Structure 1
């Protein structure tokens, strides 16, 4: 790709650290065409039609029966074993970021690469030491192992048998296995839940947001044993989930028809996106039903060129790649194709 202007030599760290940084994009690229096309989020571009709340619902206190019904629906939808508990959370990310503060003594925390820089920083801020490991058998003397499965950057899947194999060593150290399955709704085979009878020393985090395209209504679940579930409940309290999020979750998780249709839409548009990226000369180096990871020798230059065209991708400089979520329609796909062609 030949660039018609001098591209930025370095990607602003705000884009590397998280999805959806449109505020930063607008500030750094004020002349970019609008509306911006945000392809940085690992979520479906077609939102679930969330139910409306009556005015009285905003005035009522938390309905614990409604929260219990939400947890039961999540347990059924995620095929959780009967021996575990399901704790609704204000987003799976909130649960992940609370975890470091539930430990009074410093822990050795290992992340399966590529690690989320923001989450790793959260553990370090709480006084723990962190490391990044290339494979599960390199867990070493870590007390806590955190695995995003599927991987948020590249979609890599750690085999369930390999995850089970590292658990005994962690349990001997009174450790913990944390499996972040926030992207697993789009690929049911990715989840470990259907293949285990218990979750001793294990937490599985799920999210109702990615498949249902509802990032504005954070709703997640911690699925784990009773002792760990009790710590989550004590930390978040009874008001962890809003009435709006609970109503959305009950409707969305019970709507198997929408989930099936959404997965079909993802497969169709995912194929189109992959073809467009390949046609532009990019290398598909990873992905899930929700995104494709495209390798390039000059990720900073391509990111800059797309941003000047009003398109935001998620950069992963260490992988020499950009992550593209799915366009919502053929018009957005054509806009991306045009920007890639002129880069």
Structure 2
């Protein structure tokens, strides 16, 4: 199977070449299909280099949203880049939880896979996602902080999908005396993944080193301007947090009618298990619906939320055709 579909979500153009069709529905990424609506109305000047003051303001607004001191916040051009940069600053024995985000295994050289049940006793550094991707498992913050207290290494928590439920976040625990680093992603909850905006929440020594490596203009003026306004839009954020669980429940009910049990506690995506995940992936692709298969878990298929009733109906019909 083509690598773009099994390594991460996306790859619509590759799907068009492989299966044909133009009117595709992308359910492969777990990105909010109803994005923050204000991006088109934000004014900024493409002719000017981004102002440091504007970047600082974005980080202050984001810090307030995350519930952390701004001194511990560093904006990055996407949380993936942030993960890889932080990986160059940390050494020692490292474990990453599997199944999980595949980039986690590449963050620190020599990182070894571990399972959720073995994670509390894993020596050295530990990398995980909460909520986890792709299975949507969640761990209470108190449990994560207990893991942090009993280890000598760093606890690195990828909270790319945590915006749907802020009670899941350990961001407020970031401090100079703790070996805790948290990553946040703008694009998933706000539905604007093309903006490439993320944040590293870490002790000030890590933040300072990151800033030095990122240089003078780490973000575009567009990312700075849009991010600052979106993070301050409390009414849209609250309404979206109320809406997403209902949308996920509608997807769950439709999947159940076709005999699939949806797994996961993150409302932005669901994981199903079937006899042949690849065959189901290809059947949906022939209906111009892109989902996320897994080379190492051939029974799995992950589906993001359909954007509206029409998209849900198309998925319903495609699942019934076969």
TM-score by length of 1: 0.87
Unpaired segments of 5 or more residues in structure 1? Answer: 1-10
Partner of 1:336: 315
Partner of 1:37: 25
Residue pairs, 1:280-299, within 5 angstroms = 280-299=258-277
| Structure 1 residue 122, shift from structure 2 partner | 5.2
Partner of 2:8: 18
Q: Closer, same or farther in 2 for the Cα pair 1:266/1:54, shift >3 Å?
A: closer
How many pairs align? 319
- The answer to whether the aligner puts 1:85 opposite 2:100 as a matched pair is no
Counterpart selection for 1:183 from 161, 166, 184: 161
Partner of 1:99: 86
Counterpart selection for 2:305 from 306, 311, 326: 326
Q: Closer, same or farther in 2 for the Cα pair 1:142/1:278, shift >3 Å?
A: same
Q: In 2, Cα distance between the equivalents of 1:90 and 1:276? A: 36
| Structure 1 residue 202, shift from structure 2 partner | 1.1
Q: Closer, same or farther in 2 for the Cα pair 1:54/1:166, shift >3 Å?
A: closer
Q: In 1, Cα distance between the equivalents of 2:149 and 2:241? A: 35
1:295-329 Cα distance to aligned partner (Å, 9 max, x none): 11211111111111111011135442211111111
Asked whether the 8 Å contact 1:84–1:198 carries over to 2, the reply is no
Q: In 2, Cα distance between the equivalents of 1:211 and 1:132? A: 28
Residue pairs, 1:159-174, within 5 angstroms = 159-171=140-152
TM-score by length of 2: 0.92
Counterpart selection for 1:148 from 116, 129, 141: 129
Q: In 2, Cα distance between the equivalents of 1:190 and 1:211? A: 14
Residue pairs, 1:159-308, within 5 angstroms = 159-171=140-152, 175-194=153-172, 196=173, 198=175, 200-308=178-286
Deviates more, 1:46-55 or 1:109-118: 46-55
Partner of 2:48: 60
Q: In 1, Cα distance between the equivalents of 2:84 and 2:16? A: 28
| Structure 1 residue 54, shift from structure 2 partner | 4.7
Residue pairs, 1:306-317, within 5 angstroms = 306-317=284-295
| Structure 1 residue 205, shift from structure 2 partner | 0.6
Asked whether the 8 Å contact 1:95–1:222 carries over to 2, the reply is yes
Q: In 1, Cα distance between the equivalents of 2:52 and 2:70? A: 21
1:105-146 Cα distance to aligned partner (Å, 9 max, x none): x633211121322442454xxxx2121111264455643211
Asked whether the 8 Å contact 2:174–2:203 carries over to 1, the reply is no
Instruction: Determine helix, strand or coil for the equivalent of 2:194.
Output: coil
1:257-305 Cα distance to aligned partner (Å, 9 max, x none): 0111222331222111111111111121224111111111211111111
| Structure 1 residue 51, shift from structure 2 partner | 4.6
Counterpart selection for 1:69 from 57, 73, 76: 57
- The answer to whether the aligner puts 1:113 opposite 2:98 as a matched pair is yes
Q: Closer, same or farther in 2 for the Cα pair 1:60/1:83, shift >3 Å?
A: closer
Asked whether the 8 Å contact 1:139–1:145 carries over to 2, the reply is no
Instruction: Determine helix, strand or coil for the equivalent of 2:207.
Output: helix
Deviates more, 1:235-244 or 1:199-208: 199-208
Q: In 2, Cα distance between the equivalents of 1:119 and 1:206? A: 14
Unpaired segments of 5 or more residues in structure 2? Answer: none
Asked whether the 8 Å contact 2:174–2:202 carries over to 1, the reply is no
Q: In 2, Cα distance between the equivalents of 1:122 and 1:86? A: 19
